[in-house]
A and B are shown apart, each in its own frame.
Chain A
Amino acid sequence: MIRFENVSKTYKNGTPALKDISLDIEKGEFVFLVGASGSGKTTFLRLLLREELPDRGRILEAGRDISELSKWRVPYLRRNIGCVFQDFRLLPNKSVFENVAFALEVIGRPRSTIESQVPQILELVGLADKAKNVPGELSGGEQQRVAVARAFVNRPLILLADEPTGNLDPTNSESIMALLERINRTGTTVVMATHDKALVDRMRRRVIELDHGEMVRDQVRGVYGIDEPMEIR
């Protein structure tokens, strides 16, 4: 589903963000991306969204080289990638329903699709009863669930999550993780950048660790820290 071939990226100010990364992520995989701040996790995600282009190497998504994609096709690429962020990025003046509907509306989905899809996805994230509330009236965990609903309502092939539990307490983190797992079970590839050690250790999923732009670890059922026993892939 995702393939990096010797990908390097250096920012204009000279700081290398990624150095010669090669990896494969299969369809339906759940991958944790770990590493200290500035290790290149965010660059990794930005490259997948084609917000940045690699300086060297190729990135393939669903078999297509995304660097060769012409500019006007980028939006169509992004329709296949859902995104969740630490700061939720909800629209404060729209209700929960409208926030999720917005994602369908702006890619030109007809009203009938919106009317049927949005309640369904709100049911999935457990917020059907809050459809009319605005984000300000929800807890952080609930807001993040709305964000997940918005990211997933278009049934993307890939879901990217950048520190989705970074602003949440353990209970709410738990429910977000359960939600992401559920989405993953439908066949969606999930890539999640995180600092949450406990979470990674418990989930025992594939862990890719970046350090100063280099991939220092790729572990099939990994844990967060490298000081623990590991099973090198």
Chain B
Amino acid sequence: MRVYLRYAIKETLANLWRNRMMTIAAVLTVAVSLSLVGAALLLKQSAAQASAQWQQGTRVTVWMQPNASASQVANVKSQLATLPIVKDCVFNSQAQDYQEAKRILPQSEWSVLSVSNVPSSFRCVPTVPSDAFVVMSTFKNEPGVYNVTAPEQQIRQMNSAIRILQIVFLALAGVLLLSATVLILNTIRMAIFARRREVSVMKLVGATNWFIRIPYITEGFIQGLLGSLVAVLAVTALHTWYPLHNEFQLDTTALVGTNLVVLVVGVVIGSVGSGLAIRRFLDV
């Protein structure tokens, strides 16, 4: 066993070195394609995270004018209370909204605000999420109403943008992964071809099939592994400097999961590539 391990390691490294240009090409292709896969997964997770966060909270906010009269506020309040599609409403006074603004906005922005120029608001939960848009259109032109916002809408737009981006990423990644597999297959084929004399002697003197095959399988495996390690670095960098990172609070579990997927896919690609090469070109 020890003899074999030494032999297999020696052979694998020699093959990798002999075909180093092809190896670099294969490793880089694996790295780029897996980085795309990782990015797509991160996007998907951040989108899911964002939706989950918003779904627990308010779906429609009716913002009153800061200078709206008490009767206008009361009118909107009673309408909201009688509307069957509105399940629940909470009134936030100007003081409460000011406190909230103070909490979520950076200091440079809330410092120019004062209680009197902050709108009061109704935070409403519609019976059915899609009713948010009916609430929006109903109250938009009501006297004293400044604006009606439904974050759901923005999230949906963002989600569909993310989904398109994700599909593009995954499609690109798919094509690249395919070419990575072919590149690995080709590298292994060249390694087998370069050593066809050795292989024929090995068969002749009775080396077992696995003894002959394993160096080539590990070669593909290592190419896949190196590629996915580069991709893991890229994904981690993306996660750290991700522009939406702070807003969506993507935690390290998401990163670890994504990196695991990237590693597994890389190793599988390498093994499949070399496995195919062995089946087709190493007739034992």
Please indicate which of the listed interface residues A76, A79, A83, A106 has the most CB atoms of chain B within 10 Å of its own CB.
A106
Asked whether, in the complex, the Cβ of B205 is within 8 Å of the Cβ of A89, the reply is: no
Please measure, in the bound complex, the distance between the C-alpha atom of A103 and the C-alpha atom of B204, giving whole angstroms: 9
Interface-lining segment among B47-55, B57-65, B193-201, B261-269: B193-201
Within 8 A of A (CB), among B169-214: 197-198, 200-209, 211-212
Count chain A residues whose beta carbon lies closer than 8 angstroms to a beta carbon of B.
25
Asked whether, in the complex, the Cβ of B200 is within 8 Å of the Cβ of A111, the reply is: no
CB distance from A79 to the nearest CB of B (A): 4
Asked whether, in the complex, the Cβ of B202 is within 8 Å of the Cβ of A106, the reply is: yes
Closest residue of chain B to A92 (Cβ to Cβ) is B197
Please measure, in the bound complex, the distance between the C-alpha atom of A109 and the C-alpha atom of B2, giving whole angstroms: 10
Please measure, in the bound complex, the distance between the C-alpha atom of A110 and the C-alpha atom of B5, giving whole angstroms: 12
B4 within 8 A of A: yes
Within 8 A of A (CB), among B126-150: none
A154 within 8 A of B: yes
Q: Given the known A-B contacts A76-B206, A78-B206, A107-B206, are A89 and B7 also in contact in the complex, defined by CB atoms under 8 Å?
A: no
Asked whether, in the complex, the Cβ of A106 is within 8 Å of the Cβ of B209, the reply is: no
B104 within 8 A of A: no
B3 within 8 A of A: yes
Residue from A49, A107, A110 in contact with B207 in the complex, judged by beta carbons closer than 8 Å: A107
Asked whether, in the complex, the Cβ of A89 is within 8 Å of the Cβ of B206, the reply is: no
- Interface flags for A68-97 (1: CB within 8 Å of B; 0: not) read 000110011111110100000101100000
Residue from A79, A92, A102, A105 in contact with B206 in the complex, judged by beta carbons closer than 8 Å: A79
Asked whether, in the complex, the Cβ of B205 is within 8 Å of the Cβ of A150, the reply is: yes
CB contacts (< 8 Å) of A14 on chain B: these are none
Please measure, in the bound complex, the distance between the C-alpha atom of A78 and the C-alpha atom of B201, giving whole angstroms: 11
Please measure, in the bound complex, the distance between the C-alpha atom of A15 and the C-alpha atom of B42, giving whole angstroms: 63
Please indicate which of the listed interface residues A75, A103, A109 has the most CB atoms of chain B within 10 Å of its own CB.
A75
The DSSP consensus for interface residues of chain B is helix
Asked whether, in the complex, the Cβ of A103 is within 8 Å of the Cβ of B3, the reply is: no
CB distance from B12 to the nearest CB of A (A): 15
Asked whether, in the complex, the Cβ of B205 is within 8 Å of the Cβ of A72, the reply is: no
Residue from A78, A92, A110 in contact with B205 in the complex, judged by beta carbons closer than 8 Å: A78
CB distance from B213 to the nearest CB of A (A): 12
Closest residue of chain B to A111 (Cβ to Cβ) is B3
Within 8 A of A (CB), among B187-243: 197-198, 200-209, 211-212
Please measure, in the bound complex, the distance between the C-alpha atom of A97 and the C-alpha atom of B211, giving whole angstroms: 21
Asked whether, in the complex, the Cβ of A110 is within 8 Å of the Cβ of B3, the reply is: yes
Q: Given the known A-B contacts A108-B211, A111-B3, are A78 and B200 also in contact in the complex, defined by CB atoms under 8 Å?
A: no
CB distance from A87 to the nearest CB of B (A): 11
Within 8 A of B (CB), among A100-135: 102-103, 105-111
Closest residue of chain B to A71 (Cβ to Cβ) is B209
Please measure, in the bound complex, the distance between the C-alpha atom of A150 and the C-alpha atom of B211, giving whole angstroms: 19
The 9 closest A-B pairs by CB, nearest first: A79-B206, A78-B206, A106-B207, A103-B205, A75-B206, A75-B208, A106-B202, A83-B204, A110-B3
Q: List 10 A-B contacts (CB under 8 A).
A: A75-B208, A76-B206, A80-B206, A83-B205, A92-B197, A103-B205, A105-B7, A106-B202, A107-B211, A154-B206
